[in-house]
Structure 1
């Protein structure tokens, strides 16, 4: 429920603070007095589209703040969105518009926290619902009519729609895979041939490690110089360990003599022990090196066949690298990717026939789910027909006929139904689509009755009606007034009206009027200019309300209009008392 609204520098309002209450809140005033400005402000504070013209001329910033009470649905929403509510169980929504150069800046807050437009829109659906006669165009749209029927049907329909959404997605995916396979089968087969050729060539190459080429080149280098290596290793052996040429003494022999001499010296001077240890270690290492180089030289032998084999293998690997490399590492990785793609194209490949069968099976499941939804909609349609006719009859439409037509269409994510609201307001007239039969006044009553049908469906806490009574008078206006009051017993209702019959039923009555004031203007010099502002005043006393109703009824506070207004207020008091007693 909307508790209060504070406005500053918004269009023709300089500063205003209003407090609303439960029941029927009515705004009246002459045509063009600015009644719809209040509704524009409420719309804006809950995510409506801003514009520069909304900032009052001569100012650079406009602010609007609305305070709402919290209900269970808002508490659940706040928990889902991890949004903190205030301690006093209220939601304070604010909107600030400011001019920066030639641009408009807008900022929304909820309980002081910055709020994006999506969040504000979600909250708006829980707080208010604005209804204007202009919405009748939307009401004639079959898509909107389907949404209304589903909303009326409630939980079971929404749950089945989720089932259909999943079934539709599964069918679309399967159908697309089948169609894509048909369209891409030739490309798939061509790709398969190429991959099989590449896989065969790489398989025959027997790729092992990325270092194979380097290892082979090292071995080739050794085999190409085997004679030189044998000669050089033998020469090193003689220098280090055993010299058979009778020339210079081998290093091992010289170190042996040095070791023997040092042993004798250590017996005399033990401080030479460390030197002896070094020489002994050197002798051992030289001896080991001599033996290893000897073994190396003995193991070397020429192998022309192996050399040819290595040359051929290197050429093969380098060819593979040129085609799939540039290095052997990349060629090995490419072979792995070829095998993977081959497995995807050949391993567990589903045939075209199987894909078609899967698509048809999922389509059958979709049709079955749609049929279940159609059954639920048919039941909801019968309930809505009875309910809506019951709400229309008190609105001076005793002979009205209403029917929800459900026709079959191609399945979509929302089912396989086309919904059309058929309407006959007068006896003898056949049922026809709503857009082709209802007049402006009839459409207003239809829209009001429809809102009444949804009043107990856990909708918004505040219903706002903008001149829903346009185009009606007399008995019809009285029936609309009664219906608005009836709605206000379960939800707060805020109504902009020109009808004295509706104004008389108000629990809170606000008068809207334009006023011209003088204001100083500072430019090249100070001057006094006239400005138009909108004033809104709550009418507390019976006399204030009587005079306002007389004004909108007769155009002036003449005695006849005063008497008429007094009578309306008296009748309204009686009707409201009767309603309260009937609800006990």
Structure 2
């Protein structure tokens, strides 16, 4: 429930603080007095769209602050947002709007905690619902009518709507997978051809050893230089071990050195390590000579093998140029291509299987939509009966109303197009409400609709902006009684020009414009100028209320207007007493 509204520098309001109460709170005043500005401020503090125009001329900052009394459900939601209540049950919602250069900035806070727009949107739905005759545009929108019906249907409908939304997402995913497969099937076949060719080519090359290319190059060098290698190995053998001429070999020289050192060791044992080295060297040289001789003797010219090596090197060079830059890279590409080919040929679902999957998901969606449609038809029948019951006291005794539900393409919200069909006069066919209802009929319809919703889960505060425009007499009285009836369940704020409605108020505010002299600074020279401001007075006694009602009724406080106002107040009190008695009986 909205307890206090404080406004600073908002449109024509310089400073204003209003304290609202339970029941029916009514704001009256002449046309253009600024009543709607107060409702605009409520809309703004709850996250509504604002522009630089809401900031009072001559200032660069506007502040709107609303204090609400929180119920247990709101307290629980705030706890989830990690926001503590003040004094156990108070929530202060504030919004500061400022202008710098050409930019408009705003900050919203809940009990001093900065919050984003998403949080404010969720909070707004829990705190206040604003109804204006301009909502007749929404009545013609199937999506809005659908949302209203779903809320009216209670918790079961929104829950099953979530089921439909989930089924729709699953179907969309299956449909997208099928369409992507169909779109890419030609590319997939081309990719299959390419991968198959590469795997075949690389497989035929028998690529096993990443060092094969270097080894073949080495073998080719050996086979190409067999004669040179034989000659040089024989030459080394002669130098080390056996010379055909008279020259001494390395082993001869080492043998002489070994003999000399043996004699020297006889006289100096410290030379023994050197003798050991000579002996080891002699052994090593003999081994080298033996192995180089064997190497040379085993060398044979093999033109056929050389041709095979040359052919293999050419083949590997071709592979490396296409899949390299090294043979190891080509082998890695071969392994990777085999895996990709296996994935395309073995793991990919066929178009047929994807079509089956899409159909199964679509069937599940249709089944969920059909269930949702049944729930909506049930809620629609209930709304039809209740709304007609609410409209009859509003001078619409013969009204016909139907929630028309026709099938449409399934979406995340179901497969229903919902239209409110309406006939206010006997003998006239049902037609779309938005196309046939007059202004007064639309006002009464919206009021009756909100009365139906007041019995469901709805915000604690309902705001009606001139919902009684276009009506008078008995209809206005019926609207007044209906507003007061709704205020038994929820706090109601109502802007009205109807004295019949204002007379039913539990708390009455008069809104007016005044011209004041305000000191302003201009070019560093202070001077006073006339400014228009909005002022609100609480009419807290019968005399003030009577005068305001007389003003609304007759435009002046003539005796007949005063008498009419007195009769309205007496009639309003009688109605309140009757409602209270009926409530006790229930």
Q: Please, what TM-score do these two structures have when normalized by structure 1?
A: 0.89
**Alignment partner of 1:195 is 2:191:** no
Corresponding residue pairs, total:
577
Deviations 1:294-341 (A, max 9, x none): 547635634634443333222222211222233334433432343233
Alpha-carbon distance between aligned partners in 1 of 2:516 and 2:430, rounded to the nearest angstrom = 55
Equivalent residue number for residue 157 of structure 2:
157
Alpha-carbon distance between aligned partners in 2 of 1:86 and 1:294, rounded to the nearest angstrom = 103
Q: Secondary structure at the match of 2:427?
A: coil
Superposed displacement of residue 405, structure 1: 1.4
Q: Secondary structure at the match of 1:426?
A: coil
Deviations 1:85-138 (A, max 9, x none): 556333322222222123222222223232222221121111111111000111
Alpha-carbon distance between aligned partners in 1 of 2:291 and 2:451, rounded to the nearest angstrom = 107
Q: Quick one: structure 1 residues 28 and 315, their matched pair in 2 at CA, closer, same or farther if it must change by over 3 Å?
A: same
Equivalent residue number for residue 313 of structure 2:
314
Superposed displacement of residue 389, structure 1: 1.3
Q: Secondary structure at the match of 1:154?
A: coil
Equivalent residue number for residue 545 of structure 1:
545
Equivalent residue number for residue 208 of structure 2:
208
Superposed displacement of residue 20, structure 1: 1.8
Alpha-carbon distance between aligned partners in 2 of 1:293 and 1:573, rounded to the nearest angstrom = 133
Equivalent residue number for residue 499 of structure 1:
498
**Alignment partner of 1:8 is 2:8:** yes
Equivalent residue number for residue 390 of structure 1:
389
Alpha-carbon distance between aligned partners in 1 of 2:105 and 2:125, rounded to the nearest angstrom = 24
Deviations 1:530-581 (A, max 9, x none): 1001112222223222222222222122232223223322322332233234
**Alignment partner of 1:359 is 2:355:** no
Alpha-carbon distance between aligned partners in 2 of 1:278 and 1:463, rounded to the nearest angstrom = 114
Alpha-carbon distance between aligned partners in 1 of 2:267 and 2:81, rounded to the nearest angstrom = 94
Alpha-carbon distance between aligned partners in 1 of 2:331 and 2:409, rounded to the nearest angstrom = 52
Q: Secondary structure at the match of 2:435?
A: helix
Equivalent residue number for residue 575 of structure 1:
575
Question: Contact (CA 8 Å) 2:7, 2:65: kept in 1 or not?
Answer: yes
Equivalent residue number for residue 110 of structure 1:
110
Equivalent residue number for residue 461 of structure 2:
462
Superposed displacement of residue 201, structure 1: 0.6
- State which drifts further: 335-344 or 147-156: 335-344
- State which drifts further: 119-128 or 105-114: 105-114
Q: Quick one: structure 1 residues 22 and 340, their matched pair in 2 at CA, closer, same or farther if it must change by over 3 Å?
A: farther
Equivalent residue number for residue 347 of structure 1:
346
Equivalent residue number for residue 51 of structure 2:
51
Q: Quick one: structure 1 residues 522 and 352, their matched pair in 2 at CA, closer, same or farther if it must change by over 3 Å?
A: closer
Question: Contact (CA 8 Å) 1:237, 1:291: kept in 2 or not?
Answer: no
Q: Quick one: structure 1 residues 278 and 157, their matched pair in 2 at CA, closer, same or farther if it must change by over 3 Å?
A: farther
Alpha-carbon distance between aligned partners in 2 of 1:147 and 1:96, rounded to the nearest angstrom = 31
Deviations 1:428-465 (A, max 9, x none): 22222112321111111110111111113222221111
Superposed displacement of residue 359, structure 1: 3.3
Alpha-carbon distance between aligned partners in 2 of 1:580 and 1:238, rounded to the nearest angstrom = 134
Superposed displacement of residue 383, structure 1: 0.9
Question: Contact (CA 8 Å) 2:126, 2:458: kept in 1 or not?
Answer: yes
Alpha-carbon distance between aligned partners in 2 of 1:571 and 1:480, rounded to the nearest angstrom = 14
Q: Secondary structure at the match of 2:42?
A: helix
Structure 2 segments unaligned to the other structure (5+ residues): none
Superposed displacement of residue 399, structure 1: 1.8
Q: Secondary structure at the match of 1:576?
A: helix
Alpha-carbon distance between aligned partners in 1 of 2:86 and 2:158, rounded to the nearest angstrom = 32
Alpha-carbon distance between aligned partners in 1 of 2:458 and 2:268, rounded to the nearest angstrom = 110
Q: Quick one: structure 1 residues 488 and 204, their matched pair in 2 at CA, closer, same or farther if it must change by over 3 Å?
A: same
Equivalent residue number for residue 536 of structure 1:
536
Superposed displacement of residue 253, structure 1: 5.1
Equivalent residue number for residue 442 of structure 1:
441
1:119-130 alignment to 2 at 5 Å?
Answer: 119-130=119-130
Q: Secondary structure at the match of 1:30?
A: coil
Alpha-carbon distance between aligned partners in 1 of 2:282 and 2:84, rounded to the nearest angstrom = 85
Question: Contact (CA 8 Å) 2:243, 2:249: kept in 1 or not?
Answer: no
Deviations 1:469-500 (A, max 9, x none): 11111221121112112212222211111112
Alpha-carbon distance between aligned partners in 2 of 1:382 and 1:336, rounded to the nearest angstrom = 67
Q: Please, what TM-score do these two structures have when normalized by structure 2?
A: 0.89
1:409-488 alignment to 2 at 5 Å?
Answer: 409-488=408-487
Alpha-carbon distance between aligned partners in 2 of 1:381 and 1:286, rounded to the nearest angstrom = 113
Alpha-carbon distance between aligned partners in 2 of 1:355 and 1:77, rounded to the nearest angstrom = 43
Alpha-carbon distance between aligned partners in 1 of 2:392 and 2:544, rounded to the nearest angstrom = 34
Superposed displacement of residue 374, structure 1: 1.6
- State which drifts further: 178-187 or 456-465: 178-187
Question: Contact (CA 8 Å) 2:520, 2:526: kept in 1 or not?
Answer: yes
Superposed displacement of residue 216, structure 1: 3.4
Alpha-carbon distance between aligned partners in 2 of 1:102 and 1:444, rounded to the nearest angstrom = 39
Alpha-carbon distance between aligned partners in 2 of 1:456 and 1:447, rounded to the nearest angstrom = 15
Superposed displacement of residue 375, structure 1: 1.4
Q: Secondary structure at the match of 2:454?
A: coil
Match of 2:294 among 272, 293, 298: 298
Q: CA RMSD in A?
A: 3.1
Alpha-carbon distance between aligned partners in 1 of 2:209 and 2:78, rounded to the nearest angstrom = 60
Equivalent residue number for residue 561 of structure 2:
561
Structure 1 segments unaligned to the other structure (5+ residues): none
Deviations 1:240-282 (A, max 9, x none): x856676254486588569757866775xxxx6xx96688579
